[in-house]
Amino acid sequence: MEANIVVVPHSILRAVHKEILMPANRGVFPPFQRLRLLSLGYSISMKIDHAPLLPIQEKLDPIRFTRSLCEIESTTYHEGPVGDFLADFLAGRGWDVEKTPVEQPSENAGGGPRWNIYACKAGETPDLVFSTHIDTVPPYIPFSEDDEFLYGRGVCDAKGILAAQVTAAETLRAAGYKIGLLFLSGEERDSAGAKSANLHPKGNRFLINGEPTDNKVAIASKGALRVSLKTTGKMAHSAYPELGESAVHKMVELLAKLLKLDWPVDADAGDTTVNIGQIQGGVAPNVIADHAEAQVLIRLVTDSAPVRKMILEAAKGVAEVAFTLDLAFVRLNAVEGMPTMVAKFATDIPQLSNWGAPLLLGPGSIHVAHMPGEKLAKKELLGSVELYIKLAKQLLG
């Protein structure tokens, strides 16, 4: 079925743009943000019409823009409102915007629409695309700031990064460079937005992906293998363990075994690491457990195949194993004159193989991402704008 095209009147977009830039109105949702296209379903491809707009003269303030983004909650599966906001905002600043749906998983089928946002100059194939994600981990933490830092969910992972990328892209666009923007849903769970976007590349030569790297270029990014383990047993009174079989005991022994395995090591990226994130099982302390489950996340420094084999061998005859996420370990290129680091976390990059040669760079520390005290230094955010501009110019010549 052909996608439905929705054209947004420029009068609405001008109102949206005015509200976002005026400090007194930050956090106010313009009327268009409350529109929902559920009646059109997930075949929608929205194109935002900005042709009648007058040129935007105001220089974008990445600190204010970060605040506007962070005041909209967008935990994974609930990215719709921030996607609406972002599409309107970019169109209001003269970008040609495509807003495409990202399917909800079956367990969140009623969660409402969510989007990928792509922006470029009308009719132009970009040479370089800036990209990051618009979802955050839970729980939502309201935005705040002081003279030195921004605080709140998403300030460094990754809404501050997004704001810096847009600011840099506008400077580069004004200088005549062919630049695109790609902002994705779902990175924090399964990279659903990246997988969808990879089916519709734009022909760019380079992709600068944004994650918190302390404003250093990453020369490698660890992969991620998510593992679901299930054990079964026989229920019985806990006073008579010989009459039952504990699924929890099986799980505990298996997890202890996994922690002691000699996992692969890479000279540059370091160790494979294992995190047992969740364990559930049994019905009561005085009942032998007949079921148990565990969720494990392994950070990869090799291809996942040898790690999968080690897990299957350890769990043989003990547990049912399912691999629910597999993001590849990626080696990236250094850039002359720029400091480097190894990202011990996974990104959308492995799922964006059709979007040009990837690089990874962004302000903020991964050490505070996903934490109650997530923060980003204003000085570092402003500095990242110049770094993005420098990197782009160095790549494009």
**What CATH number does the domain containing 257 carry?**
3.30.70.360
Task: Looking at the structure, tell me whether residues 236 and 272 fall in a common domain.
Answer: yes
Last residue of a domain, one of 327, 360, 376: 327
Task: Please report whether residue 43 resides in a domain.
Answer: yes
Size (the chain), residues? 397
Which helix (H) or strand (E) segment holds residue 195: the answer is helix 192-197
Token pair of 137 as six digits:
């981990």
Catalytic residue chosen out of the listed positions 79, 187, 188, 211: 187
Q: State the pLDDT at residue 151.
A: 98
**Would residue 73 count as lying in a domain?**
yes
> With 60 as the cut, is the pLDDT of residue 52 above it?
no
Q: Using 50, 70 and 90 to split pLDDT, how confident is the model at 58?
A: confident
Mean pLDDT to the nearest integer, 92-118: 93
* Residue 349 counted as domain residue: yes
Print the domain residue range for 254: 223-327
Over 90: is that where the pLDDT of 99 sits?
yes
Distances (CA, A) of 197 to 49, 99, 186, 317: 21, 11, 12, 40
Are 374 and 237 in the same domain? no
Is the pLDDT at 7 greater than 60? The verdict is no
Whether 207 and 61 map to the same domain: the answer is yes
Is 176 found in the same domain as 310? no
**What span, in angstroms and rounded, lies between the C-alpha atoms of 249 and 236?**
14
Residues 229 and 149 reside in one and the same domain: no
Q: Are residues 142 and 186 in the same domain?
A: yes
Give pLDDT, residue 44: 41
Work out whether strand 115-120 and strand 96-101 pair parallel, antiparallel, or are unpaired: antiparallel
Give the per-residue pLDDT at 117: 98
Q: Is the pLDDT of residue 15 over 70?
A: no
- What tokens does 358 get? 């990837």
Among 325, 343, 329, 41, which Cα is nearest to 192's?
325
Q: Domain check: are 154 and 237 in the same one?
A: no
Residue where a domain stops, chosen among 311, 327, 343: 327
Residue 4 belongs to a domain: no
Amino acid making up residue 133:
H
- Note whether residue 5 is domain-resident: no
In this structure, are 162 and 46 located in the same domain? yes
- Using a pLDDT cut of 90, give the percent of the chain over it: 83
Q: Is the pLDDT of residue 56 over 70?
A: no
pLDDT at residue 119 in the model? 98
Predicted confidence band of residue 47 (pLDDT cuts 50, 70, 90): low
* Least confidently predicted of 41-55, 140-154, 322-336: 41-55
Over pLDDT 70: what percentage of the chain?
86
**The token pair that represents 131 in the structure block:** 């990209």
Same domain, 21 and 129: yes
DSSP assignment of 79-143 equals -HHHHHHHHHHHHHTT-EEEEEE-PPPGGGTTS---EEEEEESTT---SEEEEEE--BPSSP---
pLDDT over threshold 60, residue 296:
yes
CATH code for the domain in which residue 144 is found: 3.40.630.10
pLDDT for position 108: 86
Helices (H) and strands (E) in the chain, counts: 8, 19
Q: Are residues 250 and 365 in the same domain?
A: no
Burial of residue 183 (CB within 10 Å: 0-12, 13-18, 19+) is buried
Mean pLDDT of 147-159: 98
CA proximity to 351, closest of 175, 196, 208, 189: 196
Q: Which helix (H) or strand (E) holds 16?
A: helix 10-21
Residue 204 placed within a domain:
yes
Q: State the pLDDT confidence band at 106, using cuts at 50, 70 and 90.
A: confident
Q: Name the pairing type of β-strands 375-377 and 149-151.
A: antiparallel
Check pLDDT > 80 for residue 21.
no
H helix or E strand, kind and range, residue 250: helix 247-260
> Is residue 188 annotated as a catalytic residue, yes or no?
no
Q: How many domains does the chain have?
A: 2
- Asked if 210 and 240 sit in the same domain, the reply is no
Sheet arrangement for strand 357-360: 46-48, 96-101, 115-120, 179-184, 128-133, 206-209, 357-360
Residues 384 and 272 in one domain: no
- For residue 127, what pLDDT is reported? 98
Of 282, 298, 327, the one marking the end of a domain is: 327
Each residue's pLDDT tens digit, 251-286: 999 999 999 999 999 999 999 999 999 999 999 999
2: in domain: no
| pLDDT tens digits, 366-395 | 999 999 999 999 999 999 999 999 999 999
What CA–CA distance (Å, rounded) separates 30 from 15?
7
What distance in Å separates the CA atoms of residue 26 and residue 68, rounded to the nearest whole number? 6
pLDDT for the residue numbered 46: 53
Average pLDDT over residues 355-375: 97
pLDDT tens track for 199-220: 999 999 999 999 999 999 999 9
Least confident of 52-61, 186-195, 295-304, 337-346: 52-61
